[in-house]
Amino acid sequence: MDRPQQVPATGFYSSFPFIFNFSLLIAFLSVPHCLIGQPLQEKQDTLVKHQLNLRHDNDFFTLTDRYYSSGLFVNYRHLLKNGLLKGGNEQLAFSIGQEVYTPSDIKTTDISEQDRPYVGFLAFQGGWSYVKKNHGVDVSLLLGVAGKASGAGGFQRWYHNAIVISDPPIWVGEMENSMHVNAYASYRREWQLAPNPFSVTIVAQPAVAFGSRDVYAQNDLIAYFGRKNPIQSSIGFNRIGSTQREIFFSLRAGFRYVGRNALLEGNGSDDTSVLLVPANKEIIYGGFDVHHRFSKNEYWFGYRIQSAEASTTESHRYIILAYARNF
């Protein structure tokens, strides 16, 4: 479950040569096995009902260390045998994750020089999703804590000392502890323009969020290229139940209207944090993803770029790395 950016022109245009070359690689890997002498899927598809997924987000790979600095998530998904609705594919999903947010200057002890507050977020999220034919829905509920109680500050300091071997962020002026409850819902509609082995699929995916952490409405437009299964069994929509091989890449862009961002603005009028900043109401964002399923293993590489979340900050980019095992 994923959670889910004015974008510098150089951020997109400089990526075009890489995207073009990568599309050629995906096309080669997607051609029928009779042309390359290797099977692209198992002889018989194996039904799986469970999945364990590990995901790590980090902007360190883009040579920055600011804003949404890192995220760690453990996700479990289960395919329901008897769901709530008839004639579709239903899943339950549960995740626990920790997110780290820092200002651009992580060395200063002067709060007036910070462009956003330090804050960590630790949450448990549970959700239900349903797909049928070429559309799907996903709803979830999040329970979380922001501030020192999240443990994000201590974890990041340990990470910098033990792994990165660099001076850790100062974490001066961290936001006060606060509890949060949030609901999320999204709808997905797919149109396949060309079939496999090198399919082309266009997706519209509107989403809304309401609660004490996030209030927003957004819409994503996504284009998929490569060997991609229908929505009922595709890793493009986090579906389990199949081990049919997939390998494809996607390009995405979206717009979000923000009503509330508590990780910038705090937890209402009674928040006593020393630094809070108002969130920008409009955000545009984009991304590039590569997905691959081989047998019971799934791999995901993603790149995200978004416009500034506040008037005091700048645009930001980060990398997504994830691995999943089906069983």
Query: In the chain, what are the domain boundaries?
Result: 9-326
What confidence score (pLDDT) does residue 6 get? 39
Distance CA 8, CA 272 (A): 35
pTM: 0.86
- Pair of tokens at residue 113: 């020089």
Per-residue pLDDT for the chain (327 aa), expressed as one digit of tens each? 554 443 444 444 444 444 555 555 555 555 444 344 444 444 446 789 999 999 999 998 899 999 999 999 999 999 998 888 887 899 999 999 999 999 999 999 999 999 999 999 999 999 999 999 999 999 999 999 999 999 999 999 888 888 877 788 999 999 999 999 999 999 999 999 999 999 999 999 999 999 999 999 999 999 999 999 999 999 999 999 999 999 999 999 999 999 999 999 998 878 999 999 999 999 999 999 999 999 999 999 999 999 999 999 999 999 999 999 999
Residues 6+ apart with CB under 8 A from 122: 96, 97, 98, 144, 145, 149, 150, 151, 152
What confidence score (pLDDT) does residue 130 get? 97
CB atoms within 10 A of CB 109: 9
CATH class of 9-326: mainly beta
For residues 180 and 211, is the Cβ–Cβ distance under 8 A?
yes
Helix residue ranges per DSSP H, 14-91: 16-30, 33-36
Distance CA 223, CA 324 (A): 23
- Position of tokens 């590990």? 54
For residues 103 and 111, is the Cβ–Cβ distance under 8 A?
no
